[in-house]
Amino acid sequence: MHNKLTRIHVLLFVLTFMTTLFAGAMLNGVVPWEQPEKIYLGLPFSLTLLFILLTHEMAHYLMSRRHNVSATLPYFIPAPSIIGTFGAVIKMKPPIPDRRSLIDIGASGPIGGFIIAVIASLVGLYLSEVRPAGELRGGIAFGSSILFTILSKIALNIDPEKYDVILHPVAFAGWIGLLVTSLNLLPIGQLDGGHIIYALFGNKHELISKSTLPVLIVLGIFFWPGWLIWAVLMIILGYKHPPVLYPYIQLDRKRKLVGWISLFIFILTFTPTPVQGI
């Protein structure tokens, strides 16, 4: 049984490598089924994105094992989309012992993936192409978080109002990594952000989680329709959090700091309008 499950993890990873490779090649203007000899051009995007996702999920997995919480290896999800994947997940079996282990497990993934995404974004931005604003017509524009705007200024030293940036595939993978980080840190349900909120605030989690739903709906109406899909998903998956086994064990100062750093990362990486037409 164990070997069969391992084969499923490996197969999904290989399939996701292929779909992200295809997506990366197409981002470079290569049509893989017409120019198979140029599919290698998709490697920078594919490998960068997979490394970000793998770092995020393996951090969860290793921290789960450290706290004796049953968890699977990552399941990568291949997809015929512009980025070639719907991400990756691990499955954990409750109960989680206490709030200390909960914050270790919940925060490790976003922080690990965040670090790699920042590095990828900086490297990719140095390799990106800059055009005067208004030259680009048609296609898709990607929104910028507070952090990505800061990274762009550091790497490119331009006024974002006067120039458009054509992202290098590595920078695009980094941008996706930052977006995935913010989505996972939404303070709702059993997302990573939900784990962190429960660890920090205990029973107040449900109120915070419920309050986030109307915010997502407002964002979906005025900024990006995708937030409406997230709101529906959260309603389906549930906004509550299962209790920990030993709720009387309090967080120490170090873990409280980790929790607040995670919430600060959420603010830095949040993008109200991730995608829009131009």
> Does the predicted model carry a pTM greater than 0.75?
yes
Q: What is the 3-state secondary structure (H, E, C) of 126-143?
A: HCCEEEECCCCCCCEEEC
pLDDT of residue 81: 86
Q: What is the sign of the dihedral through the CA atoms of 87, 90, 95 and 100?
A: negative
pLDDT of residue 168: 93
The HSE-up count of residue 60 (CA atoms within 13 Å, CB side) is: 27
Residue 242, both tokens: 């299962």
Cα–Cα distance between 226 and 142 in angstroms, integer? 13
Cα–Cα distance between 154 and 126 in angstroms, integer? 9
Cα–Cα distance between 99 and 177 in angstroms, integer? 26
Cα–Cα distance between 208 and 197 in angstroms, integer? 8
Mean pLDDT of the chain: 90
- Residue 1 CB contacts under 8 Å (≥ 6 apart), including other chains: none
Q: Which amino acid would we find at residue 265?
A: I
Cβ-contact 100, 244 below 8 angstroms:
no
DSSP character at residue 274: -
> Could you say which residues of the chain have pLDDT below 70?
1-3, 5, 133-139, 160-161, 277-278
pLDDT of residue 88: 93
pLDDT of residue 2: 59
| Domain edges within the chain | 2-277
- Residue 11 CB contacts under 8 Å (≥ 6 apart), including other chains: none
pLDDT of residue 160: 66
Long-range contacts of 245-248 (CB under 8 A, 24+ apart): 245/95, 245/96, 245/97, 245/98, 246/97, 246/98, 247/98, 247/99, 247/202
